[in-house]
Amino acid sequence: MTKTAILGYGTVGSGVAEVLCGHADSIARKADGPIALKYICDVRDFPDSPYQDLFTKDFSVIERDPEVGIVVETIGGIGVALDFTRRCLRAGKSVVTSNKELVAMHGYELTHLAAENGVCYLFEASVGGGIPIIRPLTQCLAANDLLEITGILNGTTNYILTRMARAGAPFAEALKEAQANGYAERDPSADVEGHDACRKICILASIAFGRHIYPDQVPTEGISHITPTDMDYAEQSGRKIKLLGRAVLMPDGTVSACVGPHLVDLENPLAGVEDVFNGITVRGDAIGDVMFYGRGAGKLPTASAVVADVIDLARNREHRKPLLWEKGGPDAVSAQPMATRWYVRAQTRPEELRTALGGGQLLARRGNENGETACITAGALTPEELRQRLGALQPLSVLRVLD
């Protein structure tokens, strides 16, 4: 019998309890024995919860209980979650988490701490909600040298962009809907300013390319400045605007990564990833491109990934190998920011803009009578090269283009 505890009874934690208890019989078959939920730790009271007997406000009860072999951390954030995770690992308990902020910032330390204590730190749910992506990267695609990862990694912003494109919904209204559905972070600026997607691409890049990549090493831009005008130009050019996280292995072994809104051609499968769904394309040298798609946020999809990690640990208790990568550092990332083509919108005459950009494709828009124009650059440029080309021209909007 495996005994578990849940730290943090929020959206994901309550989903984990529901899935663990609701699917107990089938989980017992898959885990080679029953998995019992022994404690739920939260400082709040939940008088209506069906798990009344399991609640404790005292984490040390769990820490000191030798029967608890696996702890699920769904507190989120760094402070208490980091402290409790370290203490669980030191106490010889494996930890499963959906906490992308913690893994992106402290994944190197925590995976190594787990290994030193003969246990595991698993985090399938930290990227892509219910989509299997960590295990495919480490196991199913293990034969490949991985070259590139490009993904729609944030359900809230994808939901907002979809609602803005389809219904012309204002940004604030679409955000409220996403929050009401339990997709958004407590502080939704982490979603709309791209920080959540940044944490996720850092986790994927660390696993895929073998060295820890930190969020402050990845240039990150959100979607709050996207306007209906940009949506219109994108549509007229046969593209959609998507918030993408990208990480590319460079020839010198460094990683070039960025997060920001991109114009994505309708023929690219990522353009068809709508609403709260996430989509992640991974390029390997043997397999070529492979894509992962599914619900990237929400209570039960995320709980699905957490519980799968718990089952994996229960099943492979004695021989589950730890998931590890090497230390990060300034030399892990490329000195040169990523070069892409760019969409530029400016209050200027079309030929003036095109000449400034050194050529490119001018875009049309229905009912454009503001004297503004938009153009997609002919070739890939770094942000600095683009800035030099624009010179004194003040663009209204600048977005990357995914090729």
What is the contact surface with ligand HSE in residues (CB under 6 A)?
Answer: 129, 154-156, 183-185, 191, 196, 296-297
CB of 12 to ligand HSE, least distance (A): 9
Position closest to ligand HSE via CB: 156
Nearer to ligand HSE, 76 or 360 (CB): 76
CA distance 329 to 255: 11
Q: Is 200 among the residues known to form the active site?
A: yes
**Whole-angstrom Cα distance, residue 127 to residue 138?**
14
Residues 39, 107: contact at Cβ < 8 Å? no
Catalytic hit among 3, 93, 200, 299 = 200
CB nearer to ligand HSE: pick between 156 and 340: 156
Q: How far is the CB of 154 from ligand HSE (least distance, A)?
A: 4
Q: Report yes or no: 77 and 101 within 8 Å, Cβ to Cβ.
A: yes
Whole-number Å distance between alpha carbons of 199 and 14:
23
Residue 387: CB minimum distance to ligand HSE, A: 31
Q: Considering the complex, what minimum distance in angstroms separates the CB of residue 267 from ligand HSE?
A: 25
If the CB atoms of residues 69 and 129 are measured against ligand HSE, the closer one turns out to be 129
Q: Which is nearer to ligand HSE, 69 or 130 (CB)?
A: 130
Instruction: Report the alpha-carbon angle 156-162-164, nearest 5.
Output: 105
- Cβ neighbors of 226 (< 8 A, separation 6 or more) are 161, 164, 171, 241, 261, 397, 399
Identify which of residues 73 and 191 has a Cβ nearer to ligand HSE in the complex: 191
State in angstroms the smallest separation of the CB of 96 from ligand HSE.
15
Nearer to ligand HSE, 99 or 268 (CB): 99
Cβ(4)–Cβ(19) below 8 Å: no
Contact 357, 378 (CB under 8 A): yes
Nearer to ligand HSE, 235 or 274 (CB): 274
Nearer to ligand HSE, 19 or 35 (CB): 19
Calculate the alpha carbon distances from 227 to 140, 151, 175, 186, 398 in Å: 40, 22, 15, 24, 11
Closest to 27 (Cα-Cα) out of 247, 312, 239, 219: 312
Q: Shortest gap between Cβ of 137 and ligand HSE (angstroms)?
A: 17
- Minimum gap (Å) between residue 400 Cβ and ligand HSE: 20
Q: Are strands 341-346 and 395-402 parallel, antiparallel or unpaired?
A: antiparallel
| Shortest distance (Å) from residue 129 CB to ligand HSE | 5
Q: Which residues are catalytic?
A: 200
